[in-house]
Amino acid sequence: MNAAVAPVVVPLLTALLCVGLQARRTRWTVSLAGGGLSVLASLWLVALAHGHGVVVLRVGSWPAPYGIVFAADLLGALMSAIGSWVALWTLVALAAQPHPRLDAFFHAGWHLMLAGMNGAFLTGDLFNLYVFFEVLLVTSYFLVTLGATRRQAREAFTYVAVNIVASTILLMGVALLYAAVGSVNMADLAARIPQASPGLVRPAVFLLAVAFGVKAAVFPLYAWLPHTYAIPAGPVAAYFGGMLTKVGVYALYRLFTTLQPLHGPEPWLLAVAGLTMVLGVLGALAQEDMRRILSFHIVSQIGYMVFGLGLGTPQAWAAGIFYTLHNIAAKTALLLVSSAVEASYGTTSLRSLAGLAHAHPWLGVWFVVAALSLAGIPPLSGFWAKLLVVQAGLEAGEFAGVAVALAVSLVTLLSMLKIFTGAFWGPPPERSHISPLEHASVVGLAALTVAWGVGGGTLLELATAAARALGDPAGYVRAVLGGH
Amino acid sequence: MNALLAALVGLLFAAGTWLLLGQRILRQVIGLGLISHGANLMVLLAGGLGGRHAPLLANPTPRADPLPQALILTAIVIGFGITAFLLALGYRMHALEEDEP
């Protein structure tokens, strides 16, 4: 099998197996093994893309741009690796949840969504990007509504409607681009957009940016997110909160590097990024619930990733990629803590929780590690992530943006302290059991932010190489189109 | 022909948006359906219309572009699946409404 599709095919087959298998224990074994295999497949792809550049698969051996291609560059491979890692550990957390009746569907949904995400990260075809977006969105609709109550079903309907409209906008963007250039192959588009009529390309890029912006939940398109992420079961929310919006961020990176490369700071992207940071964090301040606070912080931190993109230099993109990878790990760890608390105490409201640090000291430790990392305290990965973004901002002379980023990270720290004093401090509660599987799931991700904090050099090297590849669209075009 | 289809796309979007902003679930589902069909027509327009020969090597140029039709077919199937899901979700909301007083 070609490495470029392995991270799509493995979860797809696992999902099918999970529906077919009747015995619960066998299903769990297959599902976890499938998750582990996806991680290995995507790490293999990272190694290949790092060593040899873009890994290309021409489906059916049709020459590009006529056939469908998968083109895994280092950014796509890295995103697929972290996505598979998150899927695996949120799956471990799911094992601790009491859903025996819906079990098979949860497993299938988990792996199908991973297949959709990895497909979106690795495809070299804009229309296939739309299709893989649909695969992961349809699965997400399904996971949000599984076992829903009436209120949840109503919230889920809004989520589905918003995403259908966004997908339609995405399709229109693809159509306009096809009208302008006559291709949906990304490498072909990258090569031919400069000669196309800007009257068609500009609205097309705008439509694509809006569609990806909705998925990434940037200002002013984020209103759907905090409500949706309050609905589903804890591990589902952790999976969504960690990965779903980052697929949108990835698509924005692809759009503004490979397809329509930025050269230097792009004021409107930077403005969007700043407003996303500020409004997300302000929204979090008003909340009194662990999960809702964390949901608003997802929005706020998307701002940093878009800030890195908007600065428009490979060095800033490297910072943005580092930030994205760090944030996925830290954020998922925090949401998994919230999920464990909810499973044992039935709530994540800061008013009803207290003294968790007494009852579950280790859970408190994991929380503090991930929370400090999110706020950007050394020596955790969040510190390097913010340092890199700030450094890139200073070098580009975007002092206002840097000031906003620093102020927002102070408020983030405040928010994390609020959760800590609200839920972990105070008189010990009536002790409830927290399963070792939930501890394991949190550690699986918190360990990453510690490792990337202490040994951030490796990740920085990978992020820099990925950004360098993004800064060289001609290399991508050569790799995909080959001898043309 | 192009202008006519463009106007039709606009009409579909307008009607779809109007229905989507209503209160009732069924109208919203139909509205979403109209919007996605508007986008499908737009893909068709993107390929260029009219006065072309079938895309076979034996035929003289200009030949029609078969790709938009393949794209639309995919989009229609996705839209169909999502509409079915939305209807099921709407029904479920209705059923839950009766269960939970």
3-class DSSP assignment, residue B24: coil
pLDDT beyond 90 at B12:
yes
User: Per the CB < 8 Å rule, is B82 touching A164?
Assistant: yes
Structure tokens at A13: 């087959």
Cβ atoms of A82 and A427 closer than 8 Å: no
Q: Which of A103, A113, A95, A120 is nearest to A11 (CA)?
A: A113
Partners of A289 in beta bridges: A349
Asked if B33 reaches chain A (Cβ–Cβ under 8 Å), the answer is no
Stretch A154-177: mean pLDDT: 92
pLDDT beyond 70 at B101:
no
What is the structure's pLDDT at A484?
46
* A67-81, A145-159, A307-321, B67-81: segment of lowest average pLDDT: A145-159
What is the pLDDT of chain A when averaged over all its residues?
A: 90
Structure tokens at A73: 């560059």
Q: Which of A150, A160, A161 sits opposite B100 (nearest CB)?
A: A150
Cβ atoms of A243 and A117 closer than 8 Å: yes
User: Per the CB < 8 Å rule, is B85 touching A138?
Assistant: yes
Domain of residue B75, residue span: 2-99
With both helix axes pointing from N to C terminus, report the angle between A126-145 and A245-254 in degrees, rounded to the nearest 10.
170
Angle ∠(A31,A37,A39) on CA atoms, nearest 5: 110
Q: Which of B35, B92, B99 sits opposite A168 (nearest CB)?
A: B35
Stretch A241-261: mean pLDDT: 93
Give tens-digit pLDDT for A266-300: 999 999 999 999 999 999 888 888 889 999 999 99
Give tens-digit pLDDT for B13-50: 999 999 999 888 899 999 999 999 999 999 988 887 76
| Neighbouring C-alpha atoms within 13 Å toward the C-beta of A447 | 9
**Residue recorded with tokens 């912006």:** A213
A261, amino acid identity: P
Q: Which of A261, A279, A260, A371 is nearest to A316 (CA)?
A: A261
What is the structure's pLDDT at A150?
76
Cis peptide before B62, with omega less than 30 degrees from 0?
yes
Give tens-digit pLDDT for A21-70: 878 888 888 999 999 999 999 999 999 999 988 888 888 888 878 889 99
Give tens-digit pLDDT for A197-212: 888 899 999 999 999 9
Q: Which of A131, A142, A149 sits opposite B96 (nearest CB)?
A: A149
Q: Which of B36, B74, B81 sits opposite A168 (nearest CB)?
A: B36
As a whole number of angstroms, the distance between CA A331 and CA A299 comes to 11
Asked if A179 reaches chain B (Cβ–Cβ under 8 Å), the answer is yes
Domains of chain B: total: 1
Q: Least CA distance to B82: which residue of chain A?
A: A138
Q: Least CA distance to A160: which residue of chain B?
A: B86
Residue A308 in domain: yes
Stretch B66-92: mean pLDDT: 91
Which secondary-structure segment (H or E) carries A56? strand A55-58
Stretch A240-252: mean pLDDT: 93
Largest Cα separation within chain B, whole Å, is 69
A178 contacts in chain B (CB < 8 Å): 43, 46-47, 67-68, 71
User: Per the CB < 8 Å rule, is B96 touching A153?
Assistant: yes
Domain of residue A350, residue span: 6-481
User: Per the CB < 8 Å rule, is B92 touching A184?
Assistant: no
Cα dihedral value B40, B46, B50, B56, nearest 10: -90
Cβ atoms of B70 and B47 closer than 8 Å: no
What is the structure's pLDDT at A4?
87
Other CB atoms within a 10 A radius of the CB of residue A479 amount to 19
3-class DSSP assignment, residue B53: strand
User: Per the CB < 8 Å rule, is A176 touching B46?
Assistant: yes
Please tell me which residue, A101 or A361, carries the higher pLDDT value. Answer: A361
The alpha-carbon gap from A324 to the nearest alpha carbon of chain B, in Å, equals: 30
CATH number at residue B49: 1.10.287
pLDDT beyond 70 at A10:
yes
User: Per the CB < 8 Å rule, is B81 touching A138?
Assistant: yes
A157 contacts in chain B (CB < 8 Å): 25, 28, 86, 89-90, 93
As a whole number of angstroms, the distance between CA A314 and CA A295 comes to 29
Asked if B49 reaches chain A (Cβ–Cβ under 8 Å), the answer is no
The alpha-carbon gap from A134 to the nearest alpha carbon of chain B, in Å, equals: 8
Please give the share of chain A, as a percent, with pLDDT higher than 70. Answer: 99
Total beta-carbon pairs less than 8 A apart between chain A and chain B:
86
Asked if A200 reaches chain B (Cβ–Cβ under 8 Å), the answer is no
A153 contacts in chain B (CB < 8 Å): 89, 92-93, 96
As a whole number of angstroms, the distance between CA A402 and CA A68 comes to 41
The answer for residues whose C-beta is within 8 angstroms of residue A52's C-beta and 6 or more apart is: none
As a whole number of angstroms, the distance between CA A42 and CA A378 comes to 29
Strands A69-72, A55-58: pairing kind: antiparallel
The alpha-carbon gap from A281 to the nearest alpha carbon of chain B, in Å, equals: 29
User: Per the CB < 8 Å rule, is A179 touching B75?
Assistant: no
Asked if A105 reaches chain B (Cβ–Cβ under 8 Å), the answer is no
Dihedral of alpha carbons A123, A42, A233, A213, sign: negative
Residue A157 in domain: yes
Q: Which of B36, B47, B48 sits opposite A164 (nearest CB)?
A: B36
Domains of chain A: total: 1
The alpha-carbon gap from B101 to the nearest alpha carbon of chain A, in Å, equals: 11
Q: Which of B40, B39, B43, B34 is nearest to B15 (CA)?
A: B34
Q: Which of B36, B47, B86 sits opposite A160 (nearest CB)?
A: B86
User: Per the CB < 8 Å rule, is B96 touching A176?
Assistant: no
Give tens-digit pLDDT for A389-445: 999 999 998 899 999 999 999 999 989 988 888 888 888 777 788 888 888 899 999
Dihedral of alpha carbons A333, A336, A340, A346, sign: positive
Please give the share of chain A, as a percent, with pLDDT higher than 90. Answer: 59
What is the structure's pLDDT at A146?
82
Confidence of residue A196 (pLDDT cuts 50, 70, 90): confident
What is the structure's pLDDT at A407?
93
Structure tokens at A238: 């952790």
Stretch B76-89: mean pLDDT: 92
User: Per the CB < 8 Å rule, is B92 touching A145?
Assistant: yes
As a whole number of angstroms, the distance between CA A245 and CA A237 comes to 12
Please tell me which residue, B78 or A227, carries the higher pLDDT value. Answer: B78
